[in-house]
Amino acid sequence: MLPNTGRLAGCTLFITGASRGIGKAIALKAARDGANVVIAAKTSEPHPKLPGTIYTAAEEIEAAGGKALPCIVDVRDENQISEAVEKAVKTFGGIDILVNNASAISLTNTLDTPMKKVDLMMGINTRGAYLTSKICIPYLKRSKVAHILNLSPPLNLNPVWFKNHCAYTIAKYGMSMCVLGMAEEFKGEIAVNALWPKTAIHTAAMDMLGGSEVNKQCRTADIMADAAYSILIKPRSYTGNFVIDEELLKTEGIKDFDVYAVSPGHPLLPDFFLDANPDDVTSKIEEHGGTAAFKDGKSVASSTKGPVVETFTLIEKSINKDAVKSVQGVYQFVLSGSEEGTWYMDLKNDKGGVGKGDPPIKPDVVMSMDSEDFVKMFTGKMKPTMAFMSGKLKIKGNMGLAMKLEALMGRMNSKL
């Protein structure tokens, strides 16, 4: 990993959403230099599903060698941000670095995204980054360090990144456009850059949504912390850059990226907004133990049944009370192609079950895809996340439950 240099000693970082995840990892990296960290986040009381509060994060930061100032901040609230900034300046004498890390996500299409969710994403992502920057800039101008770092993607107008989650993309790209504009506006005074991961990052939210099977495809937040540190110790002339974590760290001499992997050697899930061929990634996943129960769209076990029928037969045998208890969702599959039809999987009621046609109760998740891709997905030859990112899989409904199904598939593959 990238070693600390001590160059952030005495610097004050204002980090939104720093009570857990990537924000906290960046805070801890800076703390090892002896930095002051303002933890600007909403969680003041323990969350029932997500670990960490601004106070537990403060304890970790101080244990790592830094000084911490926990502040209850909702980045949609101008008064809360202003009060936290004033408190930071009074406590530490100024602000040297702003990290706009707080973010909201809903991977839903236009008709399935309530305006409440749209407003949440726009308010936290775009408006929150803009507003926090606006309030911190007068103090950043007085600093010799003077950095703003937004955790947002490079601006990529490939329609594939818009069609399945238009509102989320707009909200994240708003953060990136802040970088584009402010880097020019404050050139010579403040460095303004964006940082984005090449792969999915393991966070507490990923634990809640995807579980261990999805996390095996992730890197730890340490890679983002190291990349952020590399940016923040650069001079103010380093500005207007849209940085990918792995690419930057390669220039720093990092060669072994397995140190950042949750499961070293396991294929990694590429992050959103970075053009890559999902089929290539799927092939790599298959090389690392993906089950191939079907070949060329035909059942190895039976030639009298179609692959979809055979797959659902095997799925039914794999469902048990533990699966129902852990998932708690009803799924509907609308299949096109050679085996067109509608199927369902009940992982919510009694012992669970599968069937042809509509489910007996309203589904929590509706998945639409080609029947051949469905078979590939349930036999380990295609990851659902890859299918979704490439447009082969359309999802309506609860995205958290969709990710839970992917985790369950990982456990099912050995039986299918």
Radius of gyration from C-alpha coordinates of the chain: 23
Contacts for 142 with CB less than 8 Å, ≥ 6 apart: 94
Backbone φ and ψ of 291, nearest 5°: -75, 135
The vertex-296 CA angle with 292 and 301, nearest 5°, equals: 60
| Residue that the structure tokens 């911490």 belong to | 68
Spatial strand order of the sheet with 341-347 comes to 353-356, 341-347, 329-336, 365-370, 394-397
390-400 confidence digits (pLDDT tens)? 788 888 888 77
Catalytic residue among 168, 173, 260, 344: 168
CA angle (233 as vertex; 2, 240 as ends), nearest 5: 110
Give every CB contact of residue 265 below 8 A, 6+ residues apart in sequence.
Answer: 258, 288
Q: pLDDT by residue for the chain (416 residues), tens digit each?
A: 899 999 999 999 999 999 999 999 999 999 999 999 999 999 988 887 778 899 999 999 999 999 999 999 999 999 999 999 999 999 999 999 999 999 999 988 999 999 999 999 999 999 999 999 999 999 999 999 999 999 999 999 989 899 889 999 999 999 999 999 999 999 999 999 999 999 999 987 666 555 566 788 899 999 999 999 999 999 999 999 999 999 999 999 999 999 999 989 888 888 889 986 444 444 443 444 333 222 233 222 333 468 888 888 888 887 888 888 878 889 999 999 988 999 999 988 888 888 889 888 899 999 999 999 998 888 878 877 778 877 888 888 887 788 777 766 766 654 44
Q: What angle do CA 49, 53, 58 make, to 5 degrees?
A: 150
pLDDT the model gives residue 33: 98
What span, in angstroms and rounded, lies between the C-alpha atoms of 191 and 99? 12
Question: Dihedral sign, CA of 231, 232, 233, 236?
Answer: positive
Kindly give the pairing relationship between strand 298-299 and strand 294-295. antiparallel
The DSSP code for 271 is P
Q: How far apart are CA 399 and CA 213, in angstroms?
A: 16
CB 74 within 8 A of CB 41: no
Question: How far, in Å, are 320, 348, 397, 408 from residue 360 at the CA level?
Answer: 19, 12, 17, 22
Structure tokens at 351: 């012992």
pLDDT score, position 410: 63
Q: What is the pTM of this model?
A: 0.75
Of the candidates 247, 289, 290, 253, the one whose C-alpha atom is nearest the C-alpha of residue 271 is 247
C-alpha 366/C-alpha 398 separation (Å) is 9
Burial class (CB in 10 A: 0-12, 13-18, 19+), 265: exposed
**Cβ contact 143:95 at 8 Å:** yes
pLDDT at position 276: 61
Residue 168 a catalytic site member = yes
User: What tokens appear for 413 in the block?
Assistant: 């593959």
Q: What phi and psi values does residue 121 have, to the nearest 5 degrees?
A: -65, -45
Cα 341-313-383 angle, rounded to 5 deg: 70
